[in-house]
Amino acid sequence: MNKKIELLAPAGDFEKLQAAINYGADAVYMGAKSLGLRAKAKNFDFAEIAEAVSFAHSHSAKIYITANIFAHNEDFEGIEEYFNELGKTGVDALIISDPGIFLVARKVLPQMDIHISTQANVTNRHSVEFWRAQGARRIVLARELSFAEIKEIHDSVKAVDPLFQLESFVHGSMCISYSGRCLLSNYMTGKDANRGECTHPCRWKYNLMEENREGEFLPVFEDERGAYIFNSKDLCMVAHLSEFINAGIESLKIEGRMKTAYYVALVTAIYRQAVDDYMKDEDKYRAKIPYYLSELTKASHRDFTTGFYFGKTTANDQVYNNSAYIRNYDFVGIVKSFDPETGFMKIEQRNKFSVGDEIEIMRTTGEVMIYTVDMLYDENMEEIDSAPHAQQIVYLKAPAVVGPFDILRKQMPQT
């Protein structure tokens, strides 16, 4: 199959951007210091964006900047200067949801590609045509669409504009509210989710009581800790790439700008493998689906769901007994360099590991390697028993050739 499918990964900071691109992303979406919906992420200033663009372009990848808040009047102060500076960095596209921000961006950067964010709730072919007529080049479709609806939208817009693109989420956390348009955070904490400050109250525990409707019960599942009535499972569509491609999706988007570099690396790597396998040999891809799913569970996650892609969701798409993530593996270190003469790799430690631990090395190229740590050295090459301090530099012998940004992980004890 010759059709090109873009794999789009998240980046909350420069390390995550490197992880995404080193592990196979064709493009990365990230936020600047303003106008994005992940205000709690580190995000990037203009100099950092220019550095990110240089890194991405040197690896044949693209950079998309989120400017997808729903703006109030004060958010427009200095916005033209902001877009002017952003345009100088060389980014490849902007992701926008607010029509006012779209209007300003179109005026200041008339040649810039603009993608319409999922926050804009595009759920039909007429809305797609509206945004296309305004000059948008891509729609990030609402997560509430089925494959059948996506195919109808694709056929309609491609008949008018064969170069217009559609993008959909393929993996990651799901918002309880319609395409993320949520007021819970604003109501309960004063932090506006639609301006980048969501506190995720949908993950909190609740007890539900209705005192004036005797005999009328709501189907709430709970335990002694309360009920998590708004808590969605995580989207995972690695087993359904054919449906995306047949529906006309050209960009597969991974959620997770607030996730760790390990999460970004692992999820990107598995979807990269899956997409490449599918394009080369669909039978091989289908045979490897259990492997893809097994690997994806090694990143922090909730139970998986296919969301709305096969129709309306059911009670089984929610998690009712807790809001915690499932964590089976720890991100314990990242390779900074490798000396082929001595066989030592320089590791920046992230979580504790010790002599005797079984470690897996997740490589940017090649299979995962498993071996037991037999000797460990500190930055002065003095022998130590463990690496307990965050971002401590340590050295250990590699079982084979490794490269910068290969990631070390360790299975956590099962309880």
Q: Where are the domains of the chain?
A: 6-175+232-312, 329-411
Model pTM score:
0.85
Q: Is a pLDDT exceeding 70 seen at residue 231?
A: no
Q: Coil, strand or helix: which one is 5?
A: coil
CA distance 201 to 221: 18
Closest C-alpha to 361, from 322, 396, 333, 395: 333
Q: Coil, strand or helix: which one is 294?
A: helix
For residue 169, what are the contacts with CB-CB under 8 A and spacing of at least 6? 118, 140, 143, 235, 253, 254, 255, 307
CATH top class, domain 329-411: mainly beta
Q: Is the distance from CB of 99 to CB of 150 less than 8 angstroms?
A: no
Q: Can you read off the two tokens belonging to residue 127? A: 């809305």
Domains 6-175+232-312 and 329-411 share a fold: no
pLDDT (0 to 100) of residue 320: 46
What is the pLDDT confidence band of residue 396, given thresholds at 50, 70 and 90? Answer: very high
pLDDT digits (tens, 9 = 90+) for 297-328: 998 877 888 888 998 665 455 554 555 567 78
Q: Is a pLDDT exceeding 60 seen at residue 221?
A: no
Q: Is the distance from CB of 200 to CB of 232 less than 8 angstroms?
A: no
Question: Per CATH, the architecture of 6-175+232-312 is what?
Answer: Alpha-Beta Barrel (3.20)
Beta partners for residue 65, in sequence order: 30, 94
Q: Is the distance from CB of 116 to CB of 136 less than 8 angstroms?
A: yes
What is the pLDDT confidence band of residue 415, given thresholds at 50, 70 and 90? Answer: low
Closest C-alpha to 262, from 66, 410, 377, 61: 410
pLDDT (0 to 100) of residue 191: 72
pLDDT (0 to 100) of residue 338: 95
Span of 54-63, 99-108, 177-186 with lowest mean pLDDT: 177-186
What is the pLDDT confidence band of residue 205, given thresholds at 50, 70 and 90? Answer: low
pLDDT (0 to 100) of residue 413: 79
Number of separate helices (H) and strands (E) present in the chain: 11, 20
Higher pLDDT, 26 or 304: 26
